[in-house]
Amino acid sequence: MPTLSDLDLLSLPLESAELAQDPLPWFTKARGVHPWLARWDKFGFVITEYTAMRELFGRDDTLRPPYADVVDTLGQQGTPWGRFTREQMISLPVDQHRLLRTAFAAKFTPRNANTLRPMMRETIGRLLDDWAPRGAIGGEIDFEEFASHFPISVMFTLVGAPHEGIALLREDLEAIGLAHSYQLDRFPRIQEGMVRLDRFVQDTIAERRANPRTGEVEDLLELLIRTGDEGNISHRQLTDLIMFFFLAGYDTSKNVLTYTMFTLLDHPEIYARCATDYDYCRNVIEEALRWYNPSTVARFVDTEFEYRGVTFPRDTMLFFPLSISGRDPGAFPDGERFDPERTVDPQHRQIAFALGKHMCLGQYIARAQLQEALHLVAQRMRAPRLTGEPGRRPFPGSWGLDGLPIAFTPGEAKVGVLEPA
């Protein structure tokens, strides 16, 4: 039986700006050489087919998260980012991860995400009050910058932190979010950001311990602190967990919102309907997550296994570009059509939030944020048009647009009816 390295595979330069600019043709070419595998010479192998991603990524028994190994590969041992990355939620031993996930899962249900919708709406409304009038004077805005303020403002509210700190921390999250593009020259700035994020979270916890919100509805920070105390979770672990929530929810949500706007520039009728049809925004966001999503996630083979007649040796690094999984013609024969009303085959759902035991805990919060944002943005930024060429972020890690210059006509808000998900 052949092992991975015996196969004739296309080498994909995942680190290159050309691939980040337009990844789909590269993956089409790769599938022409081998139907579900390619190579990334720098680090390992790439799963290129939707079905293989689904079947392999959930193999938590034979694959291990890559984060501890990546710290060594990048020579970041003993740095703030290196320490955090080795000890953060996805890297924890199985039993500790289960304890944390079970303890916090109750706060991340669809029902709980729905209770946050009024706050999300209020948050995006406030941002639009600031940004939408800029269209009135014929100016253009960078939609990516606008979008970047939204998830961080929601997180600040969720942990009850004063919003004055957002400006500085947003730049730090921006820098840290590029760590998994594996570009060494970014690390000095990433380390600076990690130190500040750590301090910010420790101060936030200390402030809340000194002033607990007794008698009020328990917010996310209160829940994390209480669950942490009950479960004997150390201060360090609690701090890391909250840091992780900030990092996990920031550029993922921002990139999806920005790319959704970019996609809808080519579909003005769909965009216009989002302004009036609140429920339709759900379909548009699901289709947008299929069309494009930010994540390429990695795993190492922990126990050698065989799959479709190929041996996967221990310690091989595997990349799962979930970002392009929804455009695999093998699973989505008409995938090049952006159609929010498509019938979704349960076997072929979008997998932007991954699979298995590390499947995104914040997925319902993320969906609710994106739906609320799209509904209000479509009302307040009417008839958007591109005024310049958007850049691209590096493909590995959290891909997306780097700047989206648009102009639009400012509109009035007519908030939709809050419906349960």
Of the pair 135, 144, the CB lying nearest ligand HEM is at 144
Q: What is the DSSP code (8-state) at residue 45?
A: E
365 contributes a contact to ligand HEM by CB under 6 A: yes
293 contributes a contact to ligand HEM by CB under 6 A: yes
Residue numbers 306-325 binding ligand HEM by CB under 6 A:
322
Q: Give min distance, CB of 360 to ligand HEM, in A.
A: 3
Which single residue brings its beta carbon nearest to ligand HEM? Answer: 362
- Where are the strands (E) in 79-227, listed by range? 141-142
Among 153, 191, 227, 252, binds ligand HEM (CB under 6 A): 252
Q: Which listed range, 206-214, 240-248, 383-391, 413-421, lies at the site for ligand HEM (CB under 6 A)?
A: 240-248
Task: Read off the tokens for 280.
Answer: 């339709």
235 contributes a contact to ligand HEM by CB under 6 A: no
Which residues 6+ apart lie within 8 Å of 383 measured at CB?
268, 408, 409
Of the pair 27, 135, the CB lying nearest ligand HEM is at 27
Of the pair 153, 293, the CB lying nearest ligand HEM is at 293
Give the other-Cβ count within 10 Å of 148's Cβ. Answer: 24
197 contributes a contact to ligand HEM by CB under 6 A: no
Of the pair 367, 382, the CB lying nearest ligand HEM is at 367
94-105 and 235-264 helices, crossing angle to 10°: 70
294 contributes a contact to ligand HEM by CB under 6 A: yes
Size of the site for ligand HEM (CB under 6 A): 25
Angle at 380 between CA 377 and CA 385, to 5 degrees: 80
79 contributes a contact to ligand HEM by CB under 6 A: no
Q: Tell me whether residue 239 is exposed, middle or buried, using C-beta atoms within 10 angstroms of its C-beta: 0 to 12, 13 to 18, 19 or more.
A: buried
| Residue tagged 């004055």 (tokens) | 164
Q: Give min distance, CB of 399 to ligand HEM, in A.
A: 11
245 contributes a contact to ligand HEM by CB under 6 A: yes
Here's the x/- map for ligand HEM, 54-73, by CB under 6 A: it reads as: -----------x--------
249 contributes a contact to ligand HEM by CB under 6 A: yes
Q: Give min distance, CB of 364 to ligand HEM, in A.
A: 9
What is the spatial distance between Cα 239 and Cα 241, in angstroms, rounded to a whole number? 5
Angle at 236 between CA 123 and CA 61, to 5 degrees: 90
- CA end-to-end span of the chain: 48
With beta carbons less than 8 A apart as the criterion, state whether 82 and 76 touch.
Answer: yes
Q: Which listed range, 11-19, 229-237, 355-363, 379-387, lies at the site for ligand HEM (CB under 6 A)?
A: 355-363
With beta carbons less than 8 A apart as the criterion, state whether 226 and 218 touch.
Answer: yes
Among 312, 353, 364, 395, binds ligand HEM (CB under 6 A): 353
Among 14, 288, 352, 368, binds ligand HEM (CB under 6 A): 352
Reduce the DSSP state of residue 189 to 3 states and report it.
Answer: helix
Q: Give min distance, CB of 60 to ligand HEM, in A.
A: 10
| Residue tagged 């899962």 (tokens) | 105
Of the pair 295, 379, the CB lying nearest ligand HEM is at 295
In this structure, are strands 310-312 and 37-40 parallel, antiparallel, or unpaired? unpaired
Reduce the DSSP state of residue 47 to 3 states and report it.
Answer: strand
Among 170, 358, 375, 382, binds ligand HEM (CB under 6 A): 358
Which residues 6+ apart lie within 8 Å of 71 measured at CB?
77, 81, 82, 85, 86
361 contributes a contact to ligand HEM by CB under 6 A: yes
Q: Give min distance, CB of 358 to ligand HEM, in A.
A: 4
Residue numbers 100-139 binding ligand HEM by CB under 6 A:
101
What is the spatial distance between Cα 224 and Cα 230, in angstroms, rounded to a whole number? 10
What is the spatial distance between Cα 23 and Cα 340, in angstroms, rounded to a whole number? 22
354 contributes a contact to ligand HEM by CB under 6 A: yes
* Residues within the interface to ligand HEM (CB under 6 A): 65, 89-90, 101, 244-245, 248-249, 252-253, 256, 293-295, 297, 322, 352-354, 358, 360-362, 365-366
